[in-house]
Amino acid sequence: MLLFEPYRINANLQLENRIVMPPVVTRLATSEGHVTEKLIERYLMYADGGAGFVITEAVSVKEQKSGQLLRLNSDTFVPGLKALTQRVHDLTPCKIAPQIIHFMKIARSGYRQKVEDLTIEEINGIPRLFAEAAARAREAGFDAVELHYAHAYTMASFLSRHNHRKDDYGGTLKKRLRLAEEVLIATRKAVGDDFVIGARINGDEFTLGGNTPAQSKPIALRLAELGLDYISVSAGGRFEDAVPRPGEALDPYTGYSGHRTMPPSWMDEKVNVHLAAEIKAVLNQSGYTLPVITTGRIPDAQTASGILDKNQADLIGIARPILCDPYWPTKYKENREKDVLKCIYCNECREAEGAFQEVICARWKKKDGSIVPPTR
């Protein structure tokens, strides 16, 4: 089964298998953005469970109020993250990378900062923020770094057709790509050619007037031209169709586009796989071999392997099923499917994240009120 065969990203990162644990918010960091023991234990569980590559929850590159969100905006955060990577590397063969993110202001009053509101000075500072955070990630012992270019956040908002700036950072796709190019170039300069840089992008925004594969394919091609090492293809998660809730900040995962980011049980299995397949086909036809990661309602090893067999992706992102049972990879590899605690895609984990509560799987909760994660 291809899923459990080793895989190399570029020449620099050897994975035990083709299973990737994509970013899943834990809400286990401190309110100041520091690592906690509970957070380390959670990622150790994912790593010990057999995933070849774990991408952490988003890590902020900027100093700003953000709740229990990990940060890399100063050197003070390096020791805690180094403790995390050392434990993962000492105890497992898993590789681990942070997903680094820049986001704009949002308030319970309903205010939402948009790319049109940023000054040129603020924009010019963003590549440096990403580059410095990536350099700290390497210092902290991570094996790679992933640039968050997807969903509702700053980088995706510049790439989007919803970007209505009138200067060199908006309008045509070439101009909307400019900041993404500058961030990648600055990050590569900061970490060197021997350190893996990936990016998560939207294959489709699933909003009226937003990006579709007609935009995501040339975006992926341009990033490949600039030397990106892998592309993770997600979808949706936009503010444009978010459902307003009185007294709460707008949540980009409440509308249809948000459901496409984390497809619930009423959506088809593999609902977003075609997006990664289209991007991979365009990259390969253009002579690029960087791996493409696909995600979205891929429930079991047989389904994942079928995607690989059809050459629709190179790596398989398994998020909620591994949250549900961190030992999902090991159990399937050992032909122990009957022992797997299976995700039912109820999205209670997503609701907990949105409420700033510790994210666990609803299936860990027992009738007596205890919380018991699966074991090996």
DSSP letters for 10-63: TTTEEESSSEEE-------S-TTS---HHHHHHHHHHHHTT-SEEEEEEEESS-
Annotated catalytic residue within 153, 230, 253, 345: 153
In the DSSP assignment, the letter for residue 368 is: T
Place of tokens 């995700």: 343
Number of H helices, E strands in the chain: 13, 11
Burial (CB < 10 A; 0-12, 13-18, 19+), residue 48, is middle
Radius of gyration of the chain (CA): 19
43 catalytic residue (yes or no): no
- The answer to whether the beta carbons of residues 102 and 187 sit under 8 Å apart is no
DSSP letters for 276-328: HHHHHHHHHHTT----EEE-SS--SHHHHHHHHHTTS-SEEE--HHHHH-TTH
Question: Minimal CA–CA distance to 102: which of 22, 156, 163?
Answer: 156
Helices (H), 92-168: 120-139, 154-159
Active-site residue list: 153
